Structure formats: structure tokens, C-alpha cells
Amino acid sequence: MGTTRIRWGIIGCGDVCEVKSGPAFQKAKHSELAAVMRRDAAKAADFAARHGVPRWYADAESLIADPGVDAIYVATPPDGHARYALMAARAGKPVYVEKPMARHHDECQAMIAGCREAGVPLFVAYYRRGLPRFLKIRDILDQGGIGSIRSVQVTFSKSDPGRARGEEPWRMLPEIAGGGLFVDLGSHTLDILDFLLGPITSAQGHARNLAGTHAVEDTVSASFAFASGALGAGLWSFSAGAREDRVEILGAAGRLSFSTFGEEPVRWESAAGTREFDLANPPHIQQPLIQSIVDELRGEGKCPSSGETAARTSRVMDRILEGYRAEVSR
């Protein structure tokens, strides 16, 4: 796309677009938000008015066909990702899709194939790949700051959202989200581990619905292995009485500790002592990744989160949940 500005259109301008992503399209260099779409026309018009967006639509086809839109951001729940991504690809427009990339790996593969056939790039909103704290962690690892990686331990817990059956948000409906909060939140951790340590080549797990509040898994344990040979284990609980968010990477010469979602300092322990790095997230958390997409579309850089990298994360989640999904489908 040369030296032009990238004019974006959003399909599904809901809550995630208010602060995390929407303003970032306007604040990134050589980027602008040209149009938004939501099936509720009044809400689409309201978003456009509040954010200074020139045009709004109530159907995706019209937004995708808008000649003043160069690239499409799909910010719907996951059940719409493949459909809208393929529509945009057929129109010859690059696609940026929210995470998780799709409900399962097969949908991811269809999206990759469709975009490849159309000759358009596909990006996914695993935006932690662009944040300063995780770039610092990767830099420490790349410089051998904790030696050869031996193992990874993930621990995440939070309280139950507390809504009764029939009142669940879409994130708790497997036909829309692909699973429960493990798919929505656990995917961020698994993807950033792929970014930091390389692909996870094998994974298995157990999942249970222990609280029974919702129709999805609320507790997941997993074991996995990286292409490098390092081993990992994780435990996610979404119906616990205490909150914890911790990732620990253990190397032959030290340890790195950090959270996926918090902003507490990254802790680096080695023979040189213990150091901490306090690296705050930007106000619009997707802006660094969006900037990398704009740069790539202009031929000036490379986005670290592609359809191929995101599909790997979906494949890992599928393998972890494989046994549980088989049980509940009987």
C-alpha cells in the first residue's frame, strides 16, 4: 500500500473498541478509522459520533464494500471471525481479527487458506506481542539472561463471574466463544509463551466444570512441550476464591516471573542479583500492535501476530480441551 494512510473499517464496534483498540486506529501513525459497523444501527451511529468516525453501517457487506476502507478489523465474538474475515479477503482487503482467532483450529485454517488464496494478509489481536513489558522479557531471554530454558509454570485464578444459567455473556457460551474463559483469557498466556519461547509442539490437558454455574469448563490443567525441548505446565481456575496471575520461566541460570494481565514489575533473578522492570501498558493497549500492522501494510515493518502464529495457539487450546469436549458432547 506504499506510502498511503491505512483507512480502517471496524466490524463489531462493541466494548473492546471503546478504549483498547478503536482510538488506536486513529492515533497510530499513517492510520485512520474511516467507518464502523454494528448490527444495532443506533449503537453504530453513537460510536461513530463519539469517536469522530465519518461513516457507520448496520451491515458488514456495506462496510467491506466501502471504497474508502482499505483494511478490516473484525471485533465480533469468535463465531463471526471466520465469516467476516473471508468476506473481507474476497473483497481484497487485509484483515485484523480479534482473539481468540476463531472457535477452533479448523476455522483458523479456513481463514488462513482464504486469505492466502485472495492474496491478503491476516493479523490477529494478540496485542501482548507488541507491549513493552513482553518485549523486555523477550530481550532478556534472547540475550541468555536466564540461560537455556528448562520449564514454564502458569498459574491463573479468579472468582466466578456469578451470572446464572441463561444470563451468561457470550464468553461463557461455547457455541459462540468456542469454550469458556480459558479460551478467552488462557489464550493470551499461551500465545505470549509462543512469542517468547517458540512454538508449543505438544499439549494435553484436563478440564472440569466444578462450580456448575455455567455450561462451560471453569478449571483447566495442562502440560505442554516446546520445540526447544522445554516443558510447561499450567493451571487455570475461573471459580476460585482468590486471584492469582503468575508465569514463571525457569532457566539453567535464572528465573523470570511476570503476570499476563497485571502491570506489576517483571522480576529477573540471576547470578547478578534480582532486578525488576516496571513497564506500564499504553493507554490504548492495542496501539503498538496496530502500528506494526500499519507499518507492514505500508511495506515498512512486520507484525509479530499473524494468522499462522494465532492458529498455533488455537491448536494448543484444542488439544488441551480435547478430552473435555469429547466428554460433554456424548
The per-residue pLDDT for range 72-83, each reduced to its tens digit, is 999 999 999 999
d(C-alpha 78, C-alpha 84), whole Å: 10
pLDDT above 60: residue 1: no
> Which residue type, as a one-letter code, is found at position 280?
A
The per-residue pLDDT for range 130-160, each reduced to its tens digit, is 999 999 999 999 999 999 999 999 999 999 8
> Which residue type, as a one-letter code, is found at position 120?
V
Nearest to 72 by CA among 96, 36, 42: 96
pLDDT above 70: residue 302: yes
Contact between 252 and 229 under an 8 Å Cβ cutoff? The reply is no
CA 59-10-172 angle, to 5 degrees, is 85
What is the homologous superfamily of the domain 6-125+285-304 according to CATH?
A: NAD(P)-binding Rossmann-like Domain (3.40.50.720)
* Region 132-280: CATH code: 3.30.360.10
The per-residue pLDDT for range 9-40, each reduced to its tens digit, is 999 999 999 999 999 999 999 999 999 999 99
DSSP 185: I
Average pLDDT over residues 242-247: 97
- Kindly report the backbone phi and psi dihedral angles of residue 292, in degrees, each rounded to the nearest multiple of 5, phi listed first: -65, -35
pLDDT above 50: residue 2: no
**Same fold? 6-125+285-304, 132-280:** no
The percentage of residues in the chain with a pLDDT greater than 70, rounded to a whole number, is: 98
Average pLDDT over residues 109-115: 98
Average pLDDT over residues 316-320: 98
Indicate the domain borders of the chain: 6-125+285-304, 132-280
pLDDT above 60: residue 3: no
* Residue 4: band (very low, low, confident or very high) from pLDDT cuts 50, 70, 90: confident
Q: What is the pLDDT of residue 330?
A: 80
The per-residue pLDDT for range 201-240, each reduced to its tens digit, is 999 999 999 998 888 999 999 999 999 999 999 999 999 9
For the chain, the helix, strand and coil percentages under 3-state DSSP, each to the nearest 5:
40, 25, 35
302 CB-contact burial (10 Å; exposed 0-12 / middle 13-18 / buried 19+): exposed
The pTM (predicted TM-score) of the whole model is 0.96
Q: What is the pLDDT of residue 164?
A: 58
